[in-house]
Amino acid sequence: MVPILSAILVMLVSIYLVLGFDKAAVLVQSSVAAGNIPNNKIVSGNKMIPQPTTPKPPNSLGQMAPILTATSSLVKDISSGALLFSKNEHEKIPVASTTKIMTALVGSEYFKSNDILEVKNLVGVSGATMGLILGERLSFRSLLYGMLLNSGNDAAYTIAHNYPGGYKSFVEAMNSKAQEFGLKNTHFDNPAGFDSVNHYSSAYDLSVIATTAAENPQIMRVVGTKEAQVGSANGAEVHNLKNLNKLLSTEGVIGFKTGFTPVAKENFVGLIERDGHRILTVVLGSDDRFGETLKLINWAYANFSWN
């Protein structure tokens, strides 16, 4: 009996050693194979899978950029994220109603298109409006049109007042989103863009906000609309809206947002696509926001070559 048990024990030890050696060999082979994998590839089974790489910036042809009156401005290539032109792009300055791009973004992350919001408080709301009246109830989508076409300050405040926690919580959410984006030169103290020492951004920071907003299909439909008519939920009120973006009829211009106050001067963030290539322009503190934006657009597409 003892010799039989000994034989079985020897057999089990041998099997363990053999399996252990095979596993070790597999590990060594895997290590060697992994050492030859390029940085932009991963392994799935026995196959090498190419990983996406950041597109290269377009090549400059050396044409001189236009001279602008704008305090701060830039042109960004959307696909690569490269700045094709910049002037004081990190300077903190008032940005007027271009603020509403962030208001639209934060609102869209919480409200659904058909959510009904009530006009609760219009105290202190002046300047451009869509004509809301106290107690009126509208869909969030309707308020987006009123805010981004007519630049309605009343629409921006209505969105903020209906946010969980109210107006103060909405502005806090705007600043939290700015921190999430890593924006170092942006701070909001209202959802409409009224001038304040504590309300500012920069051309670069606005380009980050607008690039993110451009990924939202609902926002893109709104900013690409020239005219619209929206009504209250009960049909009692009708609001005729017209987009203040005068460049929307220009070749390739598909958005975004205007802004103006006497302190901030003329401002415009634009999104353009020509020949399949998208750029974003930001012009802040300008004497001629549309004229200077058009100069940047024409220069960018004439001066840069996308491979």
Residue 176 appears among annotated catalytic residues: no
The sign of the torsion formed by the CA atoms of 49, 51, 52, 53 equals negative
- For residue 272, count CB atoms less than 10 angstroms from its CB and return exposed for 0-12, middle for 13-18, buried for 19 or more: buried
Q: Which helix (H) or strand (E) holds 84?
A: strand 83-87
Amino acid sitting at position 170: F
Q: Which helix (H) or strand (E) holds 279?
A: strand 277-286
Burial class (CB in 10 A: 0-12, 13-18, 19+), 44: exposed
What is the C-alpha separation between 83 and 60, in angstroms, rounded? 12
**Catalytic one of 76, 87, 100, 177:** 100
Longest CA–CA separation in the chain, Å:
104
Phi, then psi, of 171 in degrees rounded to 5: -65, -35
Residue set of the binding site for substrate:
257
Q: Point out the catalytic residue in the list 72, 73, 87, 97.
A: 97
CA gap 100, 248 in Å, rounded = 18
* Identified catalytic residue from 73, 139, 142, 151: 151
Binding-site positions: 257
Q: Return the residue matching tokens 């597109």.
A: 55
Q: Is 100 a catalytic residue?
A: yes
Q: Which of 212, 290, 283, 300 is nearest to 249 (CA)?
A: 290
Cβ–Cβ contacts within 10 Å for residue 25, how many?
A: 10
Active site residues: 97, 100, 151
